[in-house]
Amino acid sequence: GNSVTQMEGPVTLSEEAFLTINCTYTATGYPSLFWYVQYPGEGLQLLLKATKADDKGSNKGFEATYRKETTSFHLEKGSVQVSDSAVYFCAFMNRDDKIIFGKGTRLHILP
């Protein structure tokens, strides 16, 4: 069935380190792919998205590329900051508009 698998956390990095959070999906057809972020004390908010193969979503220095051949949408950032500490959710949405979330990856950035 449809599912999203993302790397388990918590992930702890030092400031200015390179970040990768892996995400792979199982879905029929050509879903839209999303990364959401939840900062402490807040609700989920959309970080970036990609709607077709080879699209790259980007926002706030984060990037993710829609790789259809590997059914992946890995989140990357070249130099993380303490303010990036949050929980990150990978998700996809099929044509039925039902959104499927991964379990979330908690990220801690140390100063």
Partner 1 sequence: GAGVSQSPSNKVTEKGKDVELRCDPISGHTALYWYRQRLGQGLEFLIYFQGNSAPDKSGLPSDRFSAERTGESVSTLTIQRTQQEDSAVYLCASSRGVLAGVDTQYFGPGTRLTVL
User: Quick one: residue 78, left, alpha or beta (phi over 0 = left, psi -120 to 50 = alpha)?
Assistant: alpha
Residues within window 6-25 making contact with partner 1, judged by CB under 8 A: none
Q: Does 30 bind partner 1 (CB under 8 A)?
A: no
**Residue 41 or 111 having the CB closest to partner 1:** 41
Q: Does 1 bind partner 1 (CB under 8 A)?
A: no
Choose between 56 and 98: whose C-beta lies nearer to partner 1.
Answer: 98
Q: Is 75 in the site for partner 1 (CB under 8 A)?
A: no
Among the listed residues 18, 19, 3, 28, the one whose alpha carbon sits nearest the alpha carbon of residue 105: 19
Mapped onto helix, strand or coil, the DSSP state of residue 18 is coil
Beta strand 62-65 with 45-50 is: unpaired
Stretch that binds partner 1, among 14-22, 58-66, 68-76, 90-98 (CB under 8 A): 90-98
